[in-house]
Structure 1
Amino acid sequence: MTTPSVLDEAQLGHLRHWDDLSRRLPHDWSGMQGKGAGEDDFGSYRFQLAYMVYGLALAHRHRLPAAPGLFRPTIQRLIEKLLMPDVWLYWRDVSRGGMVMNAHLSEGYHEEWDPVVRDNIMYSAYVQSCALLHDHLFADDRYAAPGALTFAHWSFFWGGEEKRFEYDRDSLNEHLYWQMVQNGYLGVACEPNCVFQICNQPAILGFRLHDVITGGDRATEVVAGYEKAWADFGRLDDAGHYNQMVLEDSRVVAPNALRAPWVDAWCGALMNTWNHDFVHEHYPRQVRDFLVPGPDGTIAVRSTPAMNVMGQTVVTDTCDTGWVAAWAAEMGDRATLDGILAHADRYMGPTRRDGALFYPRNDTPTDADGHRTEIEPMTGNVLLGYARLDVPDGLHELYQHPWGPEHFAEPALTEVGRDVEVSRAEVVDGVLHGRLRCRGRSGGDDDGSVLVGRVPDGARLRLDGQEVAARPVPGGLWVDVPPGPAHDLELVP
């Protein structure tokens, strides 16, 4: 295969930022807190962590396919954080109900500590799909081990005995599948009684990846059942936007009545995995409702006013800008994506720190000239980078054309030191091509080195066109990357 291009400085900066966030000490969420309280809303830690994993998966699959050593450790650290109680403990309270769409049913609910046993597909599907992305992309059974996905909480000060719930990729996938079946394939609820179209798409991706790994075909069954179940309601509302959700008890459909950009964008970006033609057909008309042209080709994304419920203004991160950017990237709408990124670079405070690129939270809606400046951590940490690293139909291709065993026999950068930037890593006509730069930040052993693995007998290693010696080890060849400008590495059979 050939990749679209060598990664540019912005793309490398997003990868560095995600790596930095993955290395934060436990319970350090600085720079990731949004406006909402209690990890309830669309900018919560679970979504930031999961979409960093998704973004890394897309970058590996489409841009740096021969650099598993760059992506595997970061994805593992992010999944470790995804399992932390800081991320899922909200479910203990949300599971009891009490919101406007389930308050009348609250007497039938109870406090639930297990965050994946019922409902809460807005968390469980991300644990499932992230674990399966890892095991597919790296031909690894790490999350198949019993207890590999364990949710545990204990406090010295409250709560009694440890709460501990052990799963693995297979048992969790099986559990979500049967939840889907028992609900007639309509989907699994997020908050009790609320079945969102958006939040069931990651589960479908997970089913597909599990099929790829195990040889099953459940994704086909689930998609067929899902389409039949939603045919009774329609995927789109009367205005042509995605229906937001169905209430389980009444089977009443909630449309995208406020024309919220995040509803269409999030749903469309994910549903493109299996429903490509439908999503592409409706995208141009849908996205036009959300875009605000600005100076010099910049494009802002409008947001709807905050809802007022029970006399309270709902405080939440909509992530509209980020989701429309991610949607445009998946749709291959380069003009819209470039306009949104240009707006972000001009008005949303792009920040570089030791090579990392992000856009820090800003709650101010606009500048003095009315240009949108508000940005939430989900957009500034994750979604703008996700959009820059995705390719047209990136999720669709990952879903429809997964890697086969031949990919995992090709030479690759199987370990990458922390100080090494990789802007190219692909195999073309049997030759491994890498473009590497050593930034020299950490100074630890092998932090400025890469391990070239799966080396064919007799292969020759070149750096900037000159054959070089390397340190042979059981896993391949260790190569020290000289400091300074980027260097071109080749492994020639």
Structure 2
Amino acid sequence: MTPSSAPLDRVQLGHLRHFDNLSRNLPNDWSLMQGKGQGQDDFGSYRFQLAYMAYALALTHRHRLPAAPGAFRPTFQRLIAKMLEPDVWLYWRDVSRGGSIYNAHMVDQLHEEWDPVVRDNIMYSAYVQSMAHLYAYLFDDDRYAEPGALTFRYWSFFWGGEERRFPYDQNLLAETIYGQLVENGYLGVACEPNCVFQICNQPAILGFRMQDLRTGGRRAEEVVEGYQKAWEQFGRLDAGGHYNMMISADTKEVRPNRMVAPWVDAWCGALMNSWNRDFVHEHYPSQVREFLVPGSDGAISVRSAPAMEVMGQRLVNDTCDFGWVAAWASEMGDAETLSGLLTHADRHFAPTWRGGGLYYPRNDTPAEQDGHRTDIEPMSGNVLLGYARLNVPDGLHGLYNQPWDRAHFTDPALTEVDAVEVSRAEFADGVLRFRLRGLDRAGPGRVVIGRLGGRGEWTLRRDGEVLASGVDESVHHGGDSGGRDVLGGAGGLELRCPPGPPREYTLAVSR
């Protein structure tokens, strides 16, 4: 799959900037990220927002800006760091004890578990695992393979006793999840105790695939084969043609998508397309048409299932239906549906620019007086609508099945980016083409063009005019402004990028 040749537009760049802004929030600052649900145990929780921001970065880097690792690496690191914060995973201490309608009978068998990845909880552990292995693959960097690189730590002066500390790394975490999968006959690992959801086992498969791309292993292939066989007797789809939501681990009772909730099909389909494309594409048209609500002038909305009544209580949570259908449509390459959904979002979800970033703020009001849906939660508004705009058709499928060759990681690239907006970056036929705009956060931005060692002579142009030339990492000649805007060094060429309109650059190498 070749990179998208069109540069990112203002709206796509706004979504990336919003992801970056959220990643920079101080520890324990979850501004704009709190939804209707309580306790971080529903579908709009911090862990899902963080993970799918990282997935959106991965898809954008892989398919749109492959020669700009420096534009994504720091944000990705910050998202992983936030994923390890106690606010994200401490819900497991309570959820691990059971007591829901699906595991109430197991309460006496279960105990309070502080380690958030040692058993069950695939709805968290698989995301940490996949984020770490995505990072390793995309950036050719094994920092999360170091012992203790993924450590879950909690201590409070007021309660909880001694520090809880659970050191993992990307490989130990993968082994832990793999061991649970094998123990469960490849059917999957539970989210809540006894509840094996199809959806949350898909990220683990993606993580195993990224690990295989680094190691040459075949674990993802093994897991997929085992998963397919394990589900054959139950069927991935229910009688209505929708994805079965979950299976009870003890009784093997399958829970269908009884409410015909959009999030079940959309979330599962978008992720499963990574390794099961033909199946997902076959069922998509009949599934999605049950959820769409046509509007005026090309707009399309999504209908949500009525809120469930559980144990005498009306369930209040974030379904993220609208956002997941948009993400699903983007993966399916359904441009008409995606365009209609984004049209509705821009009309009725109050698109907001903040700190250079674009998002749709939370709104709990179901609809306007004219009946148009206005309900939107942070998972959709912060993440999924941006994810959908940044993705390409079969984006996860391409990430999974069409890996970069090793040459990619030695080709010239923008290896460091600071206070600069990158809307194009690709290397082909000996030319690095990129488009930059300085953000003026505190003076000129900075970009390092790395991996020039052994490339011989090069010529750097800006808007067609020669800016500088040289050999390997050395600058031999600067143009009109090249002497002050381009510096050579062992790490590559350091390019200063003053604020202003976007500028087009090319760097041609001789070998």
* CA displacement 1:401-426 (0-9 Å, x = unmatched): 112211011110001112x1111001
- 1:3–1:426: 8 Å Cα contact kept in structure 2? no
Secondary structure (helix, strand or coil) at the match of 1:492 reads: strand
Aligned residue runs from structure 1 range 307-318, under 5 A: 307-318=308-319
1:167 alignment partner in structure 2: 168
Task: Tell me what 1:421 maps to.
Answer: 421
Asked whether the 8 Å contact 1:2–1:428 carries over to 2, the reply is no
Moved more, 447-456 or 297-306: 447-456
Range with bigger deviation, 1-10 or 310-319: 1-10
Match of residue 477, structure 1, among 493, 496, 507? 493
SS in 1 for 2:301: strand
1:482 Cα deviation from its structure 2 partner:
3.0
Check if 1:44 corresponds to 2:45.
yes
State the alpha-carbon separation in 1 of the partners of residues 111 and 456 from structure 2.
62
CA distance in 2, matches of 1:236, 1:260: 14
Counterpart code for 2:51: A
Separation in structure 2 between the aligned mates of residue 373 and residue 448 of structure 1, nearest angstrom: 38
Q: 1:181 aligns to what?
A: 182
- 1:34-433 to 2 correspondence within 5 Å? 34-418=35-419, 420-433=420-433
Equivalents in 2 of 1:328, 1:88: separation in Å?
A: 30
Structure 1 residues 272-330: Cα deviation after superposition (integer angstroms, max 9, x where no partner): 01100000000000000000000110000000110001110111000000000000000
TM score, norm. by length of structure 1: 0.98
Report if the CA contact (8 A) 2:411-2:451 is conserved. Answer: yes
Task: Compute the displacement of 1:467 (Å).
Answer: 1.6
Displacement after TM superposition at 1:358 (Å): 0.2
Task: Return the offset for 1:4.
Answer: 4.0
Provide the identity percentage: 68
Corresponding residue for residue 467 of structure 1: 466
Distance in 1, Cα, partners of 2:250 & 2:415: 50
Runs of 4+ in 1 over 4 A off after TM superposition: none
1:65-93 CA distance string (max 9 Å, x none): 00000000000000000000000000000
Deviation, 1:164, is 0.3
The whole-number CA distance in structure 1 between the counterparts of 2:362 and 2:383 is 12
**What is the root-mean-square deviation in Å for CA atoms of aligned residues?**
0.8
5+ unaligned residues in a row in structure 2: which ranges?
Answer: 468-481
In 1, the alpha carbon distance for the partners of 2:22 and 2:354 equals: 12
Partners of 1:458 and 1:128 in 2: CA distance = 41
Contact 1:292–1:302 (CA under 8 A) maintained in structure 2: yes
1-structure distance, mates of 2:501, 2:402: 35
Contact 1:120 1:190 in 2 (8 A): yes
**Structure 1 letter corresponding to 2:198:** Q
Deviation digits for residues 445-476 of structure 1, max 9, x if unmatched?
xx612111112221111111112231112110
Q: CA deviation at 1:484?
A: 1.3
Offset, 1:439? 2.4
* 8 A Cα contact 2:21 2:355, kept in partner: no
Aligned length: 489
Look up the equivalent residue of 2:445 and give its one-letter code: G
SS at structure 2 position matched to 1:324 = helix
Moved more, 194-203 or 3-12: 3-12
CA distance, structure 1, for counterparts of residue 499 and residue 254 of structure 2:
58
Mapped to 2, the partners of 1:274 and 1:232 lie a distance apart of 20
**Which shows bigger deviation, 454-463 or 356-365?**
454-463
State the one-letter code of the partner of 1:271. M
Checking the alignment, whether the CA contact within 8 Å between 1:152 and 1:164 is kept in structure 2 is yes
Distance in 1, Cα, partners of 2:52 & 2:4: 22
Does residue 449 of the first structure (1) align with residue 451 of the second (2)?
no
Structure 2 distance, partners of 1:252, 1:183, is 15
Q: C-alpha distance in 1, partners of 2:168/2:428?
A: 40
The SS at the match of 2:51 is helix
1:217-251 deviation digits (Å, cap 9, x = unpaired):
01111101100000010000000000000001110
> Aligned partners of 1:476, 1:226: CA distance in 2, in Å?
46
Unaligned stretches of 5+ in structure 1?
none
Deviations 1:146-192 (A, max 9, x none): 00000000001111110000010111111111110000000000000
Larger mean Cα displacement after TM superposition, 80-89 or 460-469: 460-469
